Amino acid sequence: MKDFIIPWDDRDMGTPAKTGAPISLTIDGVAVTVPEGTSVMRAAAETGLSIPKLCAIDSLEAFGSCRLCVVEIEGRRGTPASCTTPVAEGMVVHTQNAKLHKLRRGVMELYISDHPLDCLTCAANGDCELQDMAGAVGLRDVRYTATEGASITNHFTARDTNGDLNPEYLPKDESNPYFTYDPSKCIVCNRCVRACEEVQGTFALTIEGRGFDSRVSAGGPLDDFLSSDCVSCGACVQACPTATLQEKSVIELGTPQRSVVTTCAYCGVGCSFKAELNGDQLVRMVPYKHGKANRGHSCVKGRFAYGYATHKDRILNPMIRDDISEPWREVSWEEALGFAAQKLRGIQAKHGQKSIGVITSSRCTNEETFLVQKLARAVFGNNNTDTCARVCHSPTGYGLGQTFGTSAGTQDFDSVAHADVIVVIGANPTDGHPVFASRLKKRLRQGAKLIVIDPRRIDLVKSAHIKAAHHLPLKPGTNVAVVTAMAHVIVTEGLANEAYIRERCDWDEFEDYAEFISDPRHSPEAVEALTGVPAAELRAAARLYAKGENGAIYYGLGVTEHSQGSTTVMGIANLAMLTGNVGREGVGVNPLRGQNNVQGSCDMGSFPHELPGYRHVKNADVRAIFEQAWGVEIDSEPGLRIPNMLDAAVAGNFKGLYCQGEDILQSDPDTKHVAAGLAAMDCVIVHDLFLNETANYAHVFLPGSTFLEKDGTFTNAERRINRVREVMAPKAGMADWEVTQALANAMGAAWNYMHPSQIMEEIAATTPSFAGVDYALLEEKGSVQWPCNDANPEGTPLMHVDGFVRGKGRFILTEYVATDERTGPRFPLLLTTGRVLSQYNVGAQTRRTENTVWHEEDVLEIHPHDAETRGIKEGDYVKLASRSGETSLRAKTTDRVSPGVVYTTFHHPQTQANVITTDFSDWATNCPEYKVTAVQVSKSNGPTEWQESYETQAKAARRILPAAE
């Protein structure tokens, strides 16, 4: 690969980097100084020398099996492997001489004697380390050939030299949709097995057999890759030096010739990738080893599930219609934008300036999001802007803002490697944030302790080489009671870090808090009946967190999506302040963000009450900055949030919506209410890749561009601003930022951005935490974490180091209030919702990839006891009903859920899980209460009436008129 857009050093250094005191040595006459613990191999690489190697790679610890990297060291006997030999002061190393040359040739000759010589037609041709090493050691012939008729076997021919079936030959395993395993090409270097263990932490692979019988094996004897525990992260494929584990896309398309570094558009981890291409055809995605969020790792979605970008369902022409009962008409961009502008201005003339609004996307770039909220504030002339973060992490923004003073996580992901006790609350990282989960599991295997607070027994509770010290399986809806009880234990048992609190927090507020929290009604024993968590277990967990040195909390939507979501976030902040666990490496409060740019969309002023940088619209000085920059007057009153927009639409006061890259009909709660709101509007503009569910109610469809088709930035859960780079031209002709600009201009604005970097310049000029950010800095540093300004010119990996951003940290009282959503005779079970690894959010992207082999439909997890009393068996079609609606899906019996709790995902529109969820929401932010719905489950014959009528409506709404000749 020669044509890197970013010429950053990407060489394989052979073994991982170490930190330690400097050690000086000489290698082939070159003096070099490296940290103690560094291997001789890596030290040589530092000087630019590459020692031949096969089993070593710098993403894995040295293994020392291939014997190709042997060297001679003066004063030492023999020829040690350079990968497993650490440097020593004054060492004199020789990597090339006649003896070493002969040894290496001998090793290679043996390898090649059991390897097919089909290099020219091999998928790894040109990208094969075995091939490279054969060249590097000067292998010219192979003396070991089998005698004809002697019944000698190898691993790569189907028949032996006698013509009999070769028992050592194993056919290709093509079961995984994205890569193949061809045992005939395997050199048993163990890199795949080690990658699965060390990098991914799944332990799905092993070497079975001894000596000549040694083979890579996924799962048990009857498993193939697909049926094994393999999670298809691809770390093994990336580590494989040959074509043994090979991407099917490379087999089909050939080896890529150029690459562009960019950022994944799935979850909030924000992994950096090299998009590897031929021309503008994407061949594969390879996690970028210098990416600071992922450090060279990825999951099945980021690495493999990009096929949606070229899926036949992509809509590439703008479309309009006067009424949603009509089929779509394909029109030019100009006509579509003119039609939309005229409709929106018409609505404003008739129903008032505030009768229209926007929804920005947490999947689009910062620059695109900034423009959409600017469209509302500067062109519509109102603050009716909201984003899908409303329905996931808005309580994080409010809760952390109130307690610490910033609406963001406190750490970078590297920090987890320094944590001693890790608390995971309402998050399922192995499915939702897999790359972070791998980093967390690595730390757990090094000995850190884990506390899981979740209604379900998620994989982290117990899986290969991982076991939580405590799992608190609370009843959905009782987070505040559990978190408050933990604080009760810490305060009443004298475990609070008083010195830290006196120095960094408001002491008066702490005294009020201590009095409140010490009340016996908050004790674990008092709340046990309510939460279902055994008091002794809760006490032990609280003690472990308080006493365990570096305590780090990671949480997800199981915390925020409740009627007390904001209160739980404050309770978590209280726990961290009580124990002094904010302000250094290895600790902190870390929201795991659902979508790639949730953090960024919040930062960019998507919320109706806040201008970019979390500054309330009521502040005249803040408005003045934007009024001057934009030359308009900005409304001083907050606008409508998504649920408020829908309520107002049903009431007849809200008539027009521009919705970019979000599918509110599927993702937002209480589908019937969302549908009624959308149906009551006169102009719904959907700007998306596909005719999503919301588009069934749309009048204008503007084709979107994927992350591969535009420049920009995403901000991940650690506040890291990462570049998104265009790897192919926008398929519909315009990137999303260009579409928003064109719409604004059709409505009379005179925007003139030529490139997203100019939008970032405007963001930096108006938003203090982004003041130092520009594209040149991102090119230079790769990424930066905000705040990035004069005080922190290279960004801020850790927040609140010398004190809280707001001044003194605030303890806020966290009284438990039961949700109004309660179980009763009609709806005796509690439904909670979540994700699976292979699918993402509403599934619009992942359902259009081969990932469906792992999850082709949403299923209902139900405890065997609850299933039995209802006569439900594994795989039965069941009806799931709540007071909001009913749907049907298949049941899966499992004790991962407690009795009384059922669980499903919302990845598939056929299931319509959100027909069931209610309109209850967080008290402070209106974040919907997805995680608690009282339901009943019963046997069913098939789809419910709603599912059928929905299907009919959707089908009709998606008709497209054939283009006029």
Partner 1 sequence: MASDKLITMANQIATFFESQKGDDLAERVAAHLNDFWGPDMRADFVRLVGDPSQADRLHPLGRDAVALLRLPQDV
Kindly indicate which of the ranges 63-71, 198-206, 639-647, 871-879 contains the residues binding partner 1, using the contact rule CB under 8 A.
Answer: 639-647
Using CB under 8 A, which of 74, 118, 503, 820 touches partner 1? 820
The Cα–Cα gap between 668 and 577 comes to 33
Using CB under 8 A, which of 187, 924, 935, 937 touches partner 1? 924
Using CB under 8 A, which of 70, 347, 634, 648 touches partner 1? 648
Kindly indicate which of the ranges 213-221, 239-247, 524-532, 638-646 contains the residues binding partner 1, using the contact rule CB under 8 A.
Answer: 638-646
CA 251 to chain CA centroid, nearest Å: 27
DSSP 3-state assignment of 683?
strand
Tell the smallest beta-carbon distance from residue 297 to partner 1 (Å).
39
110's tokens: 């043996």
Give the Å distances, CA to CA, from 686 to 336, 600, 640, 692, 958.
12, 21, 19, 9, 13
925 contributes a contact to partner 1 by CB under 8 A: yes
493 or 511: CB nearest partner 1: 511
Tell the smallest beta-carbon distance from residue 382 to partner 1 (Å).
9
| Terminal-residue alpha carbon distance, the chain | 45
The Cα–Cα gap between 829 and 347 comes to 44
Residues 603-622 that bind partner 1 (CB under 8 A): 608-609, 616, 618
Tell the smallest beta-carbon distance from residue 512 to partner 1 (Å).
5
Using CB under 8 A, which of 512, 761, 774, 850 touches partner 1? 512
390 contributes a contact to partner 1 by CB under 8 A: no
Using CB under 8 A, which of 322, 519, 633, 637 touches partner 1? 637
Tell the smallest beta-carbon distance from residue 530 to partner 1 (Å).
16
The Cα–Cα gap between 389 and 617 comes to 19
Tell the smallest beta-carbon distance from residue 602 to partner 1 (Å).
15
Residues 6+ apart with CB under 8 A from 405: 804, 805, 806, 807
Tell the smallest beta-carbon distance from residue 398 to partner 1 (Å).
9
Tell the smallest beta-carbon distance from residue 827 to partner 1 (Å).
19
Q: Of 704, 667, 602, nearest to 362 (Cα)?
A: 602
DSSP 3-state assignment of 225?
coil
Site string for partner 1, 564-603 (x = CB under 8 A): ---x------------------------------------
> Where are the extended beta strands (E) located within 820-881?
829-834, 859-862, 877-881
The Cα–Cα gap between 661 and 692 comes to 9
> Where are the extended beta strands (E) located within 551-632?
551-555, 588-591, 610-611, 615-616
638 or 803: CB nearest partner 1: 638
Give the Å distances, CA to CA, from 121 to 113, 126, 156, 841, 903.
18, 11, 15, 40, 48
| 637 exposure class (CB count in 10 Å sphere: 0-12, 13-18, 19+) | exposed
Using CB under 8 A, which of 232, 396, 411, 563 touches partner 1? 563
DSSP 3-state assignment of 648?
helix
Kindly indicate which of the ranges 168-176, 577-585, 872-880, 915-923 contains the residues binding partner 1, using the contact rule CB under 8 A.
Answer: 915-923
627 contributes a contact to partner 1 by CB under 8 A: no
The Cα–Cα gap between 117 and 161 comes to 16
Residues 685-744 that bind partner 1 (CB under 8 A): none
DSSP state of 800: S
498 or 815: CB nearest partner 1: 815
> Where are the extended beta strands (E) located within 577-719?
588-591, 610-611, 615-616, 656-660, 683-688, 700-703, 712-715
HSE value, Cβ hemisphere, 13 Å, CA-based, for 268: 30
DSSP state of 791: S
706 or 819: CB nearest partner 1: 819
Helical packing angle, 98-113 and 129-136, nearest 10°: 140
Kindly indicate which of the ranges 140-148, 174-182, 649-657, 845-853 contains the residues binding partner 1, using the contact rule CB under 8 A.
Answer: 649-657
Using CB under 8 A, which of 6, 152, 417, 650 touches partner 1? 650
Residues 346-375 that bind partner 1 (CB under 8 A): 354
- Applying CB under 8 A, the site for partner 1 has a residue count of 35
253 or 813: CB nearest partner 1: 813
640 or 695: CB nearest partner 1: 640
Tell the smallest beta-carbon distance from residue 639 to partner 1 (Å).
6
Residues 6+ apart with CB under 8 A from 868: none
Whether 290 contacts 8, CB under 8 Å: yes
The Cα–Cα gap between 452 and 431 comes to 15
558 contributes a contact to partner 1 by CB under 8 A: no
Tell the smallest beta-carbon distance from residue 377 to partner 1 (Å).
14
DSSP 3-state assignment of 432?
helix
244 or 644: CB nearest partner 1: 644
Tell the smallest beta-carbon distance from residue 562 to partner 1 (Å).
11
The Cα–Cα gap between 833 and 159 comes to 53
Tell the smallest beta-carbon distance from residue 372 to partner 1 (Å).
18
639 contributes a contact to partner 1 by CB under 8 A: yes
Residues across the chain: 965
The Cα–Cα gap between 493 and 586 comes to 24
400 or 686: CB nearest partner 1: 400
919 contributes a contact to partner 1 by CB under 8 A: yes
Alpha-carbon dihedral sign for residues 301, 303, 309, 310? negative
Tell the smallest beta-carbon distance from residue 129 to partner 1 (Å).
58
Alpha-carbon dihedral sign for residues 864, 869, 870, 873? positive
Using CB under 8 A, which of 647, 761, 850, 951 touches partner 1? 647
Q: Which residues pair with 282 in a beta bridge?
A: 277
Alpha-carbon dihedral sign for residues 387, 389, 395, 398? negative
815 or 856: CB nearest partner 1: 815
State the alpha helices, DSSP H only, in 773-863: 775-781
794 or 815: CB nearest partner 1: 815
Kindly indicate which of the ranges 119-127, 170-178, 549-557, 635-643 contains the residues binding partner 1, using the contact rule CB under 8 A.
Answer: 635-643
Tell the smallest beta-carbon distance from residue 884 to partner 1 (Å).
14
Using CB under 8 A, which of 39, 317, 716, 926 touches partner 1? 926
The Cα–Cα gap between 438 and 231 comes to 12
644 contributes a contact to partner 1 by CB under 8 A: yes
Binding site for partner 1 (CB under 8 A): 354, 383-384, 512, 516, 563, 567, 608-609, 616, 618, 636-641, 644, 647-648, 650-651, 653, 812-815, 817, 820, 919, 921, 923-926
